[in-house]
Structure formats: C-alpha cells, structure tokens
Structure 1
C-alpha cells in the first residue's frame, strides 16, 4: 500500500447542505487543475457512514512544472456514531500525494513541490474556513482535527504544516520550537522546520 501525505480539512455538514459541500469541493478541484467529475456524480448523504462517499476517486497525474505527481482527491464523512465527541457530522475533503514523490530521502518536502503544496493549502483555506487546513503524513493523518474535537492538547500539533483561522489562535498560542509560525489579523501560518526548512509563506507567492 502506498504511503500518502495529504492536505485535509473538515466541514460541518447535514442533509440540507451536503450537495453544496460536494459541489464546493468539485469547484476547488477544478480551480487547481484537477478533474472533479467523480465528485459531481450522485454522492449520497445516506452513504456517509459506510465511508464510500468520495473514497473511490482515482489518482490523477498532475504536471507540476515538468515533474509528474500522482494526486488523489478524497472525501469522507465522520459522524457522532464514529467519534463520540462529535455533535454533528463533518465532511473531510483531502488531496492525497504519494509521499515518495514529494519528499526527499530524509523526509523533507522537495523544493520543486513546496510552492504547489502551499498554494493548494492556501486555496483550501480560502474556501473551507471551519476547522483549519492541515498538511499531514501517514502517521498524523486526521490527528490534528481529531485533537481539536476531543480537546486533546498534544495532538493539535501533529502536522507538518497548517493554515488556521484566527478563532483558533487561543488554542495554538503556545507554538513548539520545532515549528515556524506567523500570525496576522485573520490567519495563522505554521510549518514544521525539519520538513520545510524555510517559512513557505515568505518564499511563495
């Protein structure tokens, strides 16, 4: 099984807005140059608990300035039946990258892919504003969001980068020394030093 790194965020959903969430994700995929046709077919709210919704989209070959990447759009649902701390159902939308393609041998993001990953994170953060956007790996997949929901302080920093809304500033006020961090009026940027080496928001337009 391939090891993935992923850009991911979660959106609160219900039967009334479910189709809108799916449509919004499809529009984001289109804007990033990815094929959204899988997500504009009949995705059904009733299938959320089976994890089938959005889970069978295929990897797409993406040309990043002459470098070929396999990117898999992904969507799934988390319900109160699965996570006891939840009061509502949340939809997770993600972009999955093959880790071996975007990282070098010592686990750092390759220079040629830093601008793409960060730009995609910024696009997600502009469109999905409810829970922050996280860049995680196979081990930390889903952990920062689950930690936010459960109030588990240690897990909130289990990511390699994040773009967080201002309302989470109190939660993320004590930044570990191994992280770069920048806070402006509306947004918190965070990146793990050992993975990125420099602040991606300073070097990428």
Structure 2
C-alpha cells in the first residue's frame, strides 16, 4: 500500500490538474468560441470528462483518485476510509484545487488572485447539484461493486453528460466549487454562492451512500 505522503500528494496533484483543466479549458473555449456559449461549454465539457479518465487511471492505484471531498466523506461514511484519512484527503484536495486554478491563470497570463462575479444560485441549481453529486457517487459505488476497472471511464462519461443535463453544469465537488470561486472566468462561481452549492453536494452524496448500501451490499474495507 502506498505511503500516506504519496497518497496525499496524489490527491493534491490530481485535483490540481483537474482544476487546471476545468478552468484552463474554460478560458480557452471562451477565447475561441466567438461568443457562442453552447460551443464554449461543449469544449469545456470534453476537456473535463477526458482529463478525469486520465487522472483516475494515473492516480487511482495510489490514493483511489477521489479528488473530491464528497467522495472521500462518502467512503468514510461507508467505513471504507478512516475519518482521519478522509480529513487529510479533503485538505489536500482543496489545496490542490486552488493551486490548479492559479496554474490556469498563470498559463493564460491572467491575474493569479481573482474572485468570481458569476452568480449561480436558486433552487433549481441547488437541486441540480444534489442530483449531480448523487449520480456521481452512484456511478462510483455501482461500478466498484461489480466492475472496478470501469470507474475511470464511467466517471468521465457521467460528468460529461451531467455538464449538460443539470442546470448547474455539474460541479458535484466541494473542492472544485471552492476553487472556481477564485476565478473570474468562464468556469467561475461567485463566492457567496459556494456554501449553498456545497451543502447541496453533501446532501446528494449522503443520499447516494444510503441508497448504494442497499443496492450493492459489500463488505467495508478500512483504509
């Protein structure tokens, strides 16, 4: 089993690369789409779904490739990750997400320190975040129960789809949400809207844990 340090670095670096892809592709798409928001979102979607597959394949053997506090908390709630390690993962994920946003800003020669002005709020978007996170966790648990090798592809495809069928464009990740509030670009979210998004994500994750425990009975393994 990889050392704690290697696992935490994997979570930090993987989440950083994920956010660099999310924010960087959003900036590039906005530059090239000529004002066509649908085209920009499509470009942002493809990049995000593709990088998720790659990152989970690369870092999965080291840390499980959570890159998402909601996922780490869900595994802890199921008894498959210790609460201490889940907390350490969350710190690494949030720190990595912020670093990834800053890296994207540097690549595109934008001010590193920013605060988003893009408002994403309302009952529809909050419900969308709960649905997006619920579906993401069900995807992970369902694949893990029968065909673990398919998780990278299933997660990438699920997020690619959820970008379009959810009103919120499927953040589904508290670390991603926090970090995107620090980027006043295509992928941003106003800091004042973060708390409601995170609360909805955690509710969706909790619901997925409850349902998955009934749908796919499996022995818990503590990490």
The alignment's TM-score, normalised by the length of structure 2, stands at 0.27
Greater fraction of residues in strand: 1
The alignment's TM-score, normalised by the length of structure 1, stands at 0.29
Greater fraction of residues in helix: 2
**Taking CA–CA contacts closer than 8 Å with sequence separation of 6 or more, which of the two structures ends up with the larger relative contact order?**
2
